[in-house]
A and B are shown apart, each in its own frame.
Chain A
């Protein structure tokens, strides 16, 4: 078996990389793939709490790389998906604890056993970022539709290209459909035009993401969550399926629906 190593990265911090990694990993495992997710954010571990596995950590990424434990000892099996594993970041070490080649070697070993190796990349463009992108052969870029996030995403696209990671694919996270509808938020086409990258998926802003993180259960498990179904579709695209883009209809209130009934509402809006 030769799996695919994909880095999930962004320019700006706080745009949802860790959430995207947890949900993409979970969704791919739900499709029957063998998946390992690696938290490469040394010193600022977070993928474990998003996946609800924080109480099961004994060994971490730095322990494996330093040979303190075997690879399998640092792999924590997910609570819900039997073929999903997490290698957590070290929390008490700094970002220089590992070298890019060491992480690449580890990923090459993991590719022999897994269909997908997903790396949650630290924010910023310093050492930790270089470690994470150096180990991957494909890149997924996460951004929100805000000016600062898109500017930083453009910078990272340049750095990815320089590292031979061509054609990164874009996830636009936290799209506020009401703002887009009123012309107060850039939409998918605006962002594609600015960054000239391929879109992998559109994720609506969704409160379910917050409650899911509170519980430590990725939102793809919640069938009612719009962001969850967005991530399921993204996973299907990563896995090679042709999935049309979801139409992100803004949620309408009762009043709007009543207006609709009597013909007072504006035109129906379709995002993609």
Chain B
């Protein structure tokens, strides 16, 4: 009986912390499949990133690397998200508060 109670408690504990790995799998695959279907080799993605950086840096003083640069899903769309820090522009940021 003691074994049974211990088992019951352990099962309840497991149920509580149960991570739905099926959802994790789906989310990971959504990104992987976008990449696959684009049929864009990762090294070409890297050269595109470099070229975009070069263009932007002709107009703005920017950080050496992107904060983010990736293709992802936005609802029904597939979008390229790129974020890069603009240097020496602190006066452009309105003071908060």
Contact = CB atoms under 8 A, between A and B. Distances in A.
A213 B19 CA distance: 13
Interface string B1-43: 0001001000000000001011011001101100110011111
A63 B43 contact: yes
Contacts of B25: 213-215
B22 A214 contact: yes
B46 interface: yes
B46 A58 contact: yes
A59 B46 CA distance: 9
Contact of B21 (A55, A58, A63, A215): A215
Contacts of A90: 41
A68 B39 CA distance: 18
Contacts, number: 46
Contacts of B31: 54-55
Contact of A57 (B7, B40, B42): B42
Interface residues of A, number: 21
B48 to A, nearest CB: 12
A254 B4 contact: yes
A60 interface: yes
A58 B28 contact: no
A272 interface: no
A252 interface: no
B4 A214 contact: no
Contacts of A211: 21
Interface string A39-59: 000000000010000110111
Contact of B28 (A49, A57, A92): A49
A86 to B, nearest CB: 13
A58 B7 contact: no
A211 B24 CA distance: 9
Interface in A21-72: 49, 54-55, 57-60, 63, 68-69
Nearest to A258: B4
A91 interface: yes
Nearest to A45: B36
A100 interface: no
Contact of A60 (B4, B36, B42): B42
Contact of A49 (B22, B32, B40, B43): B32
B7 A214 contact: no
Contact of B43 (A55, A68, A210, A216): A68
Output the residue of B7, B21, B43 with the most chain A CB within 10 A.
Answer: B43
Output the residue of A49, A60, A92, A215 with the most chain B CB within 10 A.
Answer: A92
Given A214-B21, A214-B25, A54 B42 contact: no
A60 B35 CA distance: 14
B39 A92 contact: yes
B82 to A, nearest CB: 16
26 contacts: A49-B29, A54-B28, A54-B32, A54-B35, A58-B42, A58-B43, A59-B42, A59-B43, A59-B46, A60-B41, A60-B42, A68-B43, A90-B41, A91-B41, A91-B42, A92-B40, A92-B41, A93-B41, A210-B21, A211-B21, A213-B25, A214-B21, A214-B24, A214-B28, A215-B24, A254-B4
Given A58-B46, A63-B43, A210-B21, 7 more contacts: A54-B32, A54-B35, A60-B41, A93-B41, A214-B28, A215-B19, A254-B4
